Amino acid sequence: MKKEGCGIVGIALEQGNAALPIFYALYALQHRGQESAGIAVSSGAKEEKENEISGNVRDIPLIKGMGFVYEVFSTQRLESQKGNIGIGHVRYSTTGASKVENAEPLLANYRGGKIAIAHNGNLVNTAEMRRELERDGRIFHSDTDTEVIAQLLAKELMKHDPIEAIRELMKRVIGSYSLVILMNNTLIAVRDPLGIKPLCLGEIKDDENGRSGYIIASESPAIDMLNASLIRDVRPGEVLMVKGGDLESYQLYRGKNTAHCVFEYIYFARADSVLDGRLVYGVRMKIGERLAEEHGVEADMVSPVPDSGITFAIGYAKRAKIDYMEGFIKNRYVGRTFIMPEESSRDIAVRLKLNAVRANVEGKRVVLVDDSIVRGTTSRRIVDYLKEKGAKEVHLRIGSPPIIAPCYLGINTPTREELLASKRNLDEICEFLNADSIGYLSMEGLIDSVGIEANNLCLGCLTEKYPVEIPGEVCIARQLKLTQF
């Protein structure tokens, strides 16, 4: 998997300015999306700039723009965003095109004012919900599922208090959603009843800048970044509300099972994240060790495809007792780039990012470890590149079972036709990749390594069985019930 979903953060300080800590927290979540970034706080000044949307809409000033976090914000702009409560977002588009109108947070009107909302995940009933809201006269400004959530919430807020409105919202929307919402000086966080996408809670306690309060973020490194303490994950089906310095929890829905996205452990999350009580680094080490047990081979060195294969490769090398050595060095300063149309060699895209080290690989039998294979085109170029630099054999080892189906729940994956493993057997895959052998982690090995039972994970793209109803796909329904509070 090479495309992430989004990252979200919400911060409620007792006093002081939330925009700057949100900015730092977004830095820690940059790996989850590099297309656009945005911050909304509870009060502040007006901002305007080309190719960006700004607003000073009833106590919710908003700055968002295309690009990396450091490209969108400046010290001056952050200082102008006054307010002790706010939310932030980094985006990689899943639903909706890559344009500034779709950047988040998004704003929506309701009877009591405005709400700002930031979302990680993907709804599968967006079109139907949008049609219904448009029939009610609601006007959309973006083509994202997040605006559907925002408009539906605004509609429910006409009839209910915030918690009841969110309960109604959660009844209607289908798919994955971790949300942070800013409403009337209140920070609200919501995690879908299956807990598909991650969300965690931390506490900032009188830090070096005298700040205290709460932080809610997609991943724990955003909490570490502020020297705050991780308290726990937001529970599936739970709503957290931070108001006037107090934290309240409402368990609105409780499922018999959860459906945590297994690819958060394999690829999306940072290795230093603690997800649902597990350090991702530890899971990836176990995967590497298990791969070595399942797919051992005579070799001279183990090399990762950097960066995603590093931890798996360390685990593999340790268990196989084969030297770990870097066959590739990654250029960390490429960022977003373009290739001129007249550039004939498509390999330039790989060589811009990775340089194979001839002295390390020449004449060697190399175990090359990566997290997953999607289309296989990049993997094939990487294998060829190692061979061009003199590798005698290249044995590919993959830290996940084959991806055979699309993801509808937060990642932009290709169709079945484009997925390498969807219609090919192992021999055909190995031949396509020009590798000397290939070994994928078994499903059992994956589940053991993650340490969560299969019926509490989403494995949809690996098994073609999804935890929610998706037209044309098989669903393993996870029973949910409404709990009173």
Q: Which residues form the interface with ligand SF4 (CB under 6 A)?
A: 196, 261-263, 407, 409-411, 458-461
Tell me whether residue 329 or residue 475 sits nearer to ligand SF4 (CB atom).
Answer: 475
Helix, strand, coil share of the chain (percent; to 5): 30, 30, 40
Q: How far is the CB of 442 from ligand SF4 (least distance, A)?
A: 16
Task: Please pick, among 6, 200, 458, 461, the residue that the annotation labels catalytic.
Answer: 6
399 closest CA partner among 458, 343, 439: 439
Report, in Å, the least distance between residue 271 CB and ligand SF4: 17
Where do the H-state alpha helices sit in 407-474?
426-433, 443-450, 460-463
DSSP string, 121-153: EEESSHHHHHHHHHHTT---SS-SHHHHHHHHH
**Residue 480 beta carbon to ligand SF4: minimum distance, rounded to whole angstroms:** 17
In angstroms, rounded to a whole number, what is the distance separating the alpha carbons of residues 418 and 358?
32
Helix (H, G, I), strand (E, B) or coil at 30: helix
Shortest distance in whole angstroms from residue 225 CB to ligand SF4: 25
Is 6 annotated as catalytic?
Answer: yes
Toward ligand SF4, which CB reaches closer, 184 or 378?
Answer: 378
Closest approach of Cβ 466 to ligand SF4, in Å?
A: 7
- The tokens for 266 are 């394999």
CB closer to ligand SF4 out of 119 and 319 = 119
Q: Could you give the CA distance from residue 249 to residue 268 in angstroms, rounded to a whole number? A: 27
Cβ nearer to ligand SF4, comparing 216 with 407: 407
By C-beta, is 231 or 476 nearer to ligand SF4?
Answer: 476
Contacts of 471 by beta carbon, 8 Å cutoff, 6+ apart: none
Toward ligand SF4, which CB reaches closer, 16 or 401? 401
Shortest distance in whole angstroms from residue 422 CB to ligand SF4 = 13
Q: Is the peptide bond before 192 cis (omega within 30 degrees of 0)?
A: no
- Could you tell me which of 6, 1, 59, 12 has the C-alpha nearest to residue 37? 6
Sign of CA dihedral 272, 1, 146, 468: negative
Residues catalogued as catalytic: 6
